[in-house]
């Protein structure tokens, strides 16, 4: 690195001075560009796999052509993914892949970990979809590399960045039944040469908070009022040094009705007659997230990329079960606060040297009295033109309790259209610091029990076929062994988290997907099979997840009306086999196996249409055309018919 580059890095610590100088210069010498630039000088900022195109990326362009409510909707169509929808906006759905759910999935924004300290998961309703530039989804055997604990998958959200002298304003509005609304207002413009500012406000609403409406959404106490504010300031010093500041704030109020009282309700699908478990409980989130990231190419060319992120999270989840709403009370008053303050730093570097790409990172977090350090190194070697190998090792230290995994993935490109792949991950060290037979009261549980107890052994094989513009398909088999699992027990009168004997679970999963294109007509879908361990609770044999899930759609996407209308219109359907499921335990914010009822098999069919005229998108969806009665969680009835429609419009200047 040259002396001049060290000098610019030194200026990082004097940002206000640099910004003020740049603003002064821009008055005398205005920027030459007069157009919208979406690609920034260092487009790989925030990526967890920079310079790599071999994994799933969901771009903003793809998302625009989906009718979504939250990030759950976008992820639910990925192969191997099952989303347990609670049919109430704002409540945290469960997302599962390969037999492992939320707390085994790493959630990151711009490469920074966002999983909650107390539960290990994160409510994806809190991430505004309109902020997303692209999603990096890693659902294979190497997902654990990205934080040292994510045995199921890693999901990284890269936020939108702009470099534009002309102002951009985007407004999205959507509405549906039961008072559902979704509004997102976004603005971006350069405020000085190479200094861009974006501001946005998002609101989700469902039902009414007014007492005259009895806190009603679809059911009593299912309403939601959620606000998110986000901003991003990004300064491009040069084409090889960039600094950004990202801020995300959440303020929510969500009713937690606890599901329908199955044994005392004549019709669980009737929103007016159904009795809910709890008329009085709710949760409030007040979250602030701050991240400063510097990215630069320290070498003379772009073969080495380094990023340094400093972040601070101040989070508060307030759970209340009150006695002052005028309903029939449960004679319980509960007030619990789950607060955490996180200070962290993450350094990552990627180097392309010859036939290999080396990626490494170190992530340090200070959360109250706990210290978490995760570090990993991975090498992507192009051994031959048709063979690549990616070995890795990752270590995680949670306040002295160490967990180490290592593994490798290989890809064999048999032809330009056909590839085979295989991967393996193994625990190689685990100093748990928790006895094997530990049982912890659910209301007093230590997050360390979740963070550093479980480990994984994963094996995966599969293949893919790609015929450009005609057909893409893949199939994979994955075996996951979850060692020393911790689940929340439903059989004890005193709720506990405890190891379940035997001290490991094994899951066998097959996931297949295909997309066929014939002109402007498309046929796509995926199918998943999951073999689960046999668990008995309350004399009931539990099936936590549907063994078989299917998703498919057939649609037309092309230009009509003399190329003035870009239209996507079609039918999609889903199938779920029988299950007993898991249900949320609202007070603590975790999931528990359920033995209440068995439900399914079930299916549903939706009609959708999305049209683009000029810079405006109009969307419409009619869910569950056949009005089927079905559940995805006990006992949270899905809609027997739901219509949503709205508009997204981008304005320049």
- For 21-66, write each residue's pLDDT tens digit: 333 333 333 334 445 555 455 778 899 998 888 889 999 999 999 9
- The whole-angstrom distance between residue 450's C-alpha and the CA centroid of its chain comes to 19
pLDDT band at 214 (very low <50, low <70, confident <90, very high): low
Residues with Cβ within 8 Å of 341's Cβ and at least 6 positions away in sequence, in order, are 312, 313, 314, 315, 367, 368
CB 531 within 8 A of CB 566: no
Is residue 513 included in any domain, yes or no? yes
Higher-scoring residue by pLDDT: 6, 183: 183
Asked if residue 302 has pLDDT above 90, the reply is no
Rounded mean pLDDT of 476-485?
92
Residue 443: the pLDDT is: 55
Rounded mean pLDDT of 447-468?
83
Is residue 184 included in any domain, yes or no? yes
Helix (H) or strand (E) holding 418: strand 418-431
Distance CA 603, CA 415 (A): 38
Q: pLDDT by residue (tens digit) across 73-123? A: 999 999 999 999 999 999 999 999 999 999 999 999 999 999 999 889 999
Asked if residue 14 has pLDDT above 50, the reply is no
Is residue 409 included in any domain, yes or no? yes
Asked if residue 493 has pLDDT above 60, the reply is no
Distance CA 467, CA 17 (A): 53
Asked if residue 572 has pLDDT above 90, the reply is yes
Asked if residue 261 has pLDDT above 80, the reply is yes
Is residue 25 included in any domain, yes or no? no
Q: What CATH number corresponds to the domain at position 617?
A: 2.40.170.20
Q: Is 292 left (phi over 0), alpha (psi -120 to 50) or beta?
A: beta
CB 70 within 8 A of CB 187: no
Residue 300: the pLDDT is: 61
Residue 20: the pLDDT is: 37
Distance CA 598, CA 635 (A): 10
Q: How big is the chain by its Cα radius of gyration, in Å? A: 25
Q: How many CA atoms lie less than 13 Å away from 517 in the CB half-sphere?
A: 12
Residue 234: the pLDDT is: 93
Is residue 450 included in any domain, yes or no? yes
**Stretch among 247-256, 437-446, 606-615, 627-636 having the lowest mean pLDDT:** 437-446
Pairing of strands 81-84, 455-467: unpaired
Domain limits at 581? 31-652
Residue 633 — φ and ψ, nearest 5°?
-145, 145
Q: pLDDT by residue (tens digit) across 339-368? A: 999 999 999 999 988 888 999 999 999 998
What is the chain's mean pLDDT, rounded? Answer: 86
Residue 338: the pLDDT is: 93
pLDDT band at 450 (very low <50, low <70, confident <90, very high): low
Residue 452: the pLDDT is: 58
Asked if residue 213 has pLDDT above 70, the reply is no
CB 634 within 8 A of CB 581: yes
Asked if residue 430 has pLDDT above 50, the reply is yes
In 3D space, the residue among 411, 527, 417, 410 whose CA is nearest the CA of residue 472 turns out to be 417
Q: pLDDT by residue (tens digit) across 591-605? A: 988 888 999 999 999
Residue 314: the pLDDT is: 98
Residue 480 burial class via C-beta count within 10 angstroms: exposed 0-12, middle 13-18, buried 19 and up: buried
Asked if residue 519 has pLDDT above 60, the reply is yes
Distance CA 203, CA 181 (A): 8
Q: pLDDT by residue (tens digit) across 119-170? A: 899 999 999 999 999 999 999 899 999 999 999 999 999 999 988 888 999 9
DSSP state of 66: S
Distance CA 84, CA 241 (A): 42
pLDDT band at 540 (very low <50, low <70, confident <90, very high): confident
Asked if residue 438 has pLDDT above 80, the reply is no
Asked if residue 427 has pLDDT above 90, the reply is yes
Residue 297: the pLDDT is: 84
CB 243 within 8 A of CB 234: yes
In the chain, how many domains are there? 1
Residue 45: the pLDDT is: 86
Asked if residue 439 has pLDDT above 60, the reply is no
Residue 34: the pLDDT is: 46
In 3D space, the residue among 363, 304, 309 whose CA is nearest the CA of residue 42 turns out to be 304
The whole model's pTM is what? Answer: 0.90
Residue 444: the pLDDT is: 54
Whether omega before 601 lies within 30 degrees of 0, making that bond cis, reads yes
Residue 449: the pLDDT is: 55
Rounded mean pLDDT of 519-546?
92
Asked if residue 535 has pLDDT above 60, the reply is yes
Distance CA 641, CA 606 (A): 9
* Token output for 206: 């469902």
Q: How many residues does the chain have?
A: 653
In 3D space, the residue among 327, 324, 320, 87 whose CA is nearest the CA of residue 207 turns out to be 87
Distance CA 639, CA 628 (A): 8
pLDDT band at 1 (very low <50, low <70, confident <90, very high): very low
Percent of the chain topping pLDDT 70: 86
Residues with Cβ within 8 Å of 276's Cβ and at least 6 positions away in sequence, in order, are 219, 220, 221, 222, 257, 258, 259, 260, 261
Is residue 2 included in any domain, yes or no? no
Is residue 22 included in any domain, yes or no? no
Residue 91: the pLDDT is: 94
In 3D space, the residue among 614, 605, 616 whose CA is nearest the CA of residue 648 turns out to be 616
Residue 325: the pLDDT is: 63
Residue 32: the pLDDT is: 41
Number of helices and strands (H, E) in the chain? Answer: 5, 39
Residues with Cβ within 8 Å of 462's Cβ and at least 6 positions away in sequence, in order, are 420, 421, 422, 474, 475, 476, 477
Is residue 169 included in any domain, yes or no? yes
Distance CA 445, CA 496 (A): 8
Rounded mean pLDDT of 438-454?
57
């Amino acid at each position: 690195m040259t002396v001049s580059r060290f000098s610019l890095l030194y200026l990082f610590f004097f940002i206000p001075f640099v910004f003020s100088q740049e603003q002064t210069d821009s008055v005398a010498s205005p920027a030459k560009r007069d157009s919208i630039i979406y690609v920034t000088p260092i487009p790989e900022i925030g990526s967890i796999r920079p310079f790599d195109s071999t994994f799933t990326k969901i771009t903003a362009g793809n998302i625009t052509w989906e009718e979504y409510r939250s990030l759950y909707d976008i992820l639910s169509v990925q192969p191997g993914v099952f989303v347990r929808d609670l049919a109430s906006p704002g409540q945290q759905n469960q997302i599962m892949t390969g037999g492992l759910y939320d707390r085994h999935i790493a959630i990151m924004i711009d490469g920074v970990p966002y999983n909650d300290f107390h539960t290990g998961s994160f409510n994806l309703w809190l991430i505004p979809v309109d902020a997303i530039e692209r999603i990096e989804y890693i659902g294979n055997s190497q997902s654990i590399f990205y934080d040292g604990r994510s045995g199921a998958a890693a999901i990284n959200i890269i936020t939108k960045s702009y470099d534009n002298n002309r102002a951009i304003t985007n407004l999205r509005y959507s509405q549906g039944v039961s008072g559902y609304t979704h509004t997102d207002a976004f603005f971006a413009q350069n405020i000085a040469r190479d200094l861009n500012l974006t501001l946005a406000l998002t609101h989700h609403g469902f039902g009414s908070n007014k007492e005259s409406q009895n806190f009603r959404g679809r059911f009593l106490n299912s309403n939601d009022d959620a606000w998110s504010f986000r901003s991003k300031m990004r300064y491009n010093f040069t084409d090889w040094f960039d600094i950004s500041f990202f801020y995300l704030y959440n303020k929510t109020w969500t009713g937690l009705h606890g599901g329908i009282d199955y044994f005392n309700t004549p019709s669980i699908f009737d929103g007016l007659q159904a009795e809910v478990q709890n008329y009085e409980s709710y949760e409030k989130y007040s979250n602030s997230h701050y991240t400063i990231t510097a990215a630069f190419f320290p070498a003379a060319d772009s073969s080495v990329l380094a990023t340094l992120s400093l972040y601070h999270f101040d989070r508060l989840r307030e759970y209340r079960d009150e006695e002052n709403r005028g309903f029939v009370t449960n004679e319980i008053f509960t007030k619990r606060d789950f607060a955490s303050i996180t200070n962290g730093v993450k350094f990552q570097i990627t180097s392309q040297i010859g036939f290999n790409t080396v990626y490494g990172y170190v992530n340090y977090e200070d959360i109250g009295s706990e210290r978490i350090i995760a570090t990993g190194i991975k090498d992507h070697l192009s051994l031959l033109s048709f063979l690549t190998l990616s070995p890795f090792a990752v270590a995680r230290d949670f306040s002295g309790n160490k967990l180490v995994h290592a593994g490798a993935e290989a890809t064999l490109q048999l032809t330009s259209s056909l590839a085979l792949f295989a991967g393996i991950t193994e625990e190689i060290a685990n100093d748990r610091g928790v006895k094997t037979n530990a049982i912890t009261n659910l209301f007093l549980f230590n997050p360390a029990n979740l963070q550093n107890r479980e480990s994984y052994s994963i094996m995966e094989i599969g293949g893919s076929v790609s015929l450009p513009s005609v057909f893409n398909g893949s199939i994979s088999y994955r075996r996951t062994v979850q060692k020393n699992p911790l689940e929340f027990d439903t059989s004890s009168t005193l709720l506990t988290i405890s190891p379940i004997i035997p001290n490991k679970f094994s899951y066998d999963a097959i996931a297949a997907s295909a997309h066929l294109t014939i002109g402007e007509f498309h046929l796509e879908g995926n199918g998943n099979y999951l073999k689960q361990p046999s668990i008995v609770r309350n004399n009931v044999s539990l099936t936590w997840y549907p063994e078989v899930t299917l998703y498919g759609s057939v649609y037309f996407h092309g230009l009509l009306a003399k190329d003035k209308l870009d239209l996507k219109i079609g039918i999609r359907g889903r199938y779920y086999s029988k299950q007993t499921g898991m249900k949320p335990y609202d007070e603590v914010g975790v999931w528990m196996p359920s033995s209440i009822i068995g439900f399914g098999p079930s299916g549903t069919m939706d009609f959708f249409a999305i049209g683009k005229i000029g810079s405006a998108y109009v969307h419409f969806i009619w869910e569950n055309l056949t009005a089927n009665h079905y559940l995805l969680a006990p006992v949270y009835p899905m809609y027997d018919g739901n219509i949503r429609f709205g508009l997204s419009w981008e304005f320049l200047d």
